[in-house]
Amino acid sequence: MGKSNLDIEFQKAVNRVNAYTEPFPADTLLKLYAYYKKATNDYSKPKSKKPIINAFKTNALFQVENISEDGAKQAYIDLVNNYFLYRK
């Protein structure tokens, strides 16, 4: 079964984020993290060595718990597109 357009666009957005070498703002990183985890059905616990980072990541995951997989993919794509459109 082939990939859907949504899956293709999601992978392009992931590749774009991974190729970007500048730091992202913390709030953007948390949203990207949560949308990615939800979109990929990755329910593993955050693995930062700093408990406060794990707390922020866990909170971000709670905020997307009612979004569907496809909804998370689309939100990730939209966030990436808007970030690169409006960044300075």
pLDDT of residue 88: 54
Q: Are 81 and 10 a contacting pair, CB within 8 Å?
A: no
Give the integer Cα–Cα distance in Å for 66 and 24.
Answer: 25
Written as tens digits, the pLDDT of the chain (88 aa) is 468 999 999 999 999 999 999 999 999 999 999 999 999 999 888 888 999 999 999 999 999 999 999 999 999 999 999 999 987 5
> Distance between CA atoms of 31 and 50, rounded to whole angstroms?
18
Domain of residue 37: give its range: 5-86
Counted domains in the chain = 1
pLDDT of residue 2: 63
For residue 22, give the CATH number of its domain: 1.20.80.10
Place of tokens 């700093």: 50
pTM to 2 decimal places: 0.91
Tokens of 13: 């957005």
Specify the pLDDT at position 50: 92
